[in-house]
Copies of this chain bind each other. A is one copy, B any other.
Amino acid sequence: MSELLTIDQTATWLKERDDFLVLTHRRPDGDTLGSGGALAQCLRELGKTAYVLCNPGATPRYIHCIEPYIAPDDFEPEHIISVDTATVDLFPPNAAEYLNRISLSIDHHPSNTFYAEHTCLNAKHASCGEVVFDIIMKMTNHISPETAERLYIALSTDTGCFSFNNTTANTLSVASQLIEAGAPSKKLNKVLFRTKTRSRIKVEGMLLSGLEFSFDDKVAIASITRDMLAASGASEDDLDDIAAIPCSIEGVSIGIIIRELSSTNKCKLSVRTNPPYSARQICEHFGGGGHDAAAGCIINKPIPEIKELLKELIENIMELK
């Protein structure tokens, strides 16, 4: 059974210990790498030995958050800390040897399974970075520019530059303090939120041109074929959050992206909905899952057949509303 720690208790726990290894989650985003790097940086500023376990999935976009703290192969940590990771199966493969001895999980996911010996969780926060901020302020009452930059990346990327529904008054207040502490927010905003790759621009152009509206324009469906991916050169990074586009169109309540995977007979559906419709309901019908507003599933059929199936399903759903 995991022991829940308050921010105060977590700060004391960290100050009384040394030789830390920080774990981040698979398919790492700005929140887990920013939080992990910030924690290691702050612990080092306190004179402690702290490393972050190399994350093989880290992309150029965020790897600099943890680069200065990557653990050498022969490091023998005494205490294992995880950041932003709700369950043990979310760690990358190279974390396997540590999974049965995680001392502390610092997180903001309500779905945290309390797999660690101690857990410091604030599910009201939009980002794990806000929890780490609270802990650091309690430990040192100071944020260095290096820590501020990493925490700003954590907060801003998890909230779509403070535009998503998870953004709270606390998120903005902490972000304000991080800028005061030296986070280079102008540079970061430009790179993270106001720059698109050419491949992204190409694939977006094709996607927008091919949007199909139906059901009085309440439904918008777009396809991303393997040919489109090849023509645009788009990588996984380039497709980040592209599923949000159809449902961001005025009047659209159900937005769907059908993307061909390894063959034209295997497609991934990404569904976004506004109330009263449920993305989860649509995806569960095809064996997938997710949240009410965002869900996904895999269907082993070609795009035209999937469109037919969707049409039938949505017809039924609309009749019931």
Question: Known: A162-B162, A172-B175, A177-B169. Contact between A208 and B198, CB under 8 A?
Answer: no
Is the Cβ of B198 less than 8 Å from the Cβ of A251?
yes
Q: A202-B208, A217-B198 are in contact. Are A170 and B176 (CB under 8 A)?
A: yes
Q: Scoring A residues 186 to 217 as 1 if CB is less than 8 Å from chain B, else 0, what string do you get?
A: 10011001111110011011111101010001
- Tell whether A165 is near chain B: CB-to-CB under 8 Å: yes
Q: Shortest distance in angstroms between A100's beta carbon and chain B's nearest beta carbon?
A: 40
A204: which B residues are within 8 A, CB to CB?
204, 208
Selected contact of A189 from candidates B163, B179, B209, B245, CB within 8 Å: B163
- Is A225 an interface position by the 8 A CB rule? no
Q: Report if A161 contacts B (CB, 8 A).
A: yes
How many positions in chain A have a CB within 8 Å of any CB in the partner chain?
Answer: 45
Copies in the complex: 2
A168 on interface, CB distance cutoff 8 Å: yes
Check: A164 CB closer than 8 A to any chain B CB.
yes
Q: Which of B161, B170, B198, B244 contacts A163 (CB 8 A)?
A: B161
- Cβ contact within 8 Å between B161 and A248: no
Nearest-CB distance from A223 to chain B (Å)?
14
For residue A193, which residues in chain B have a CB less than 8 angstroms away from its CB?
A: 163
Tell me which residues across on chain B come within 8 A of A198, comparing CB atoms. Answer: 213, 217, 249-251
Chain A 236-250 per-residue mask, 1 if CB under 8 angstroms from chain B, else 0: 000000001100111
Classify the interface of chain A: helix, strand, loop or mixed.
helix
**Docked CA distance A194–B244 (Å):** 9
Cα(A179)–Cα(B170), bound, Å: 9
Contact A197/B161 with A169-B177, A169-B179, A205-B211 known, Cβ cut-off 8 Å: no
List the B side residues contacting A160 at CB < 8 Å.
194
What is the CB-to-nearest-CB distance from A42 to chain B, in angstroms, rounded to a whole number?
Answer: 20
Question: Is A180 interfacial (CB 8 A cutoff)?
Answer: yes
Contact present for B163 and A169 (CB under 8 Å): no
A147-185 contact mask (Cβ, 8 Å, vs B): 1 or 0: 000000000000011111101111111011101100001
Chain A interface residues (CB < 8 Å from chain B): 160-165, 167-173, 175-177, 179-180, 185-186, 189-190, 193-198, 201-202, 204-209, 211, 213, 217, 244-245, 248-251
- Ranked 10 nearest A-B pairs via Cβ: A205-B208, A172-B176, A173-B176, A169-B179, A205-B209, A161-B163, A169-B176, A169-B180, A163-B189, A172-B172
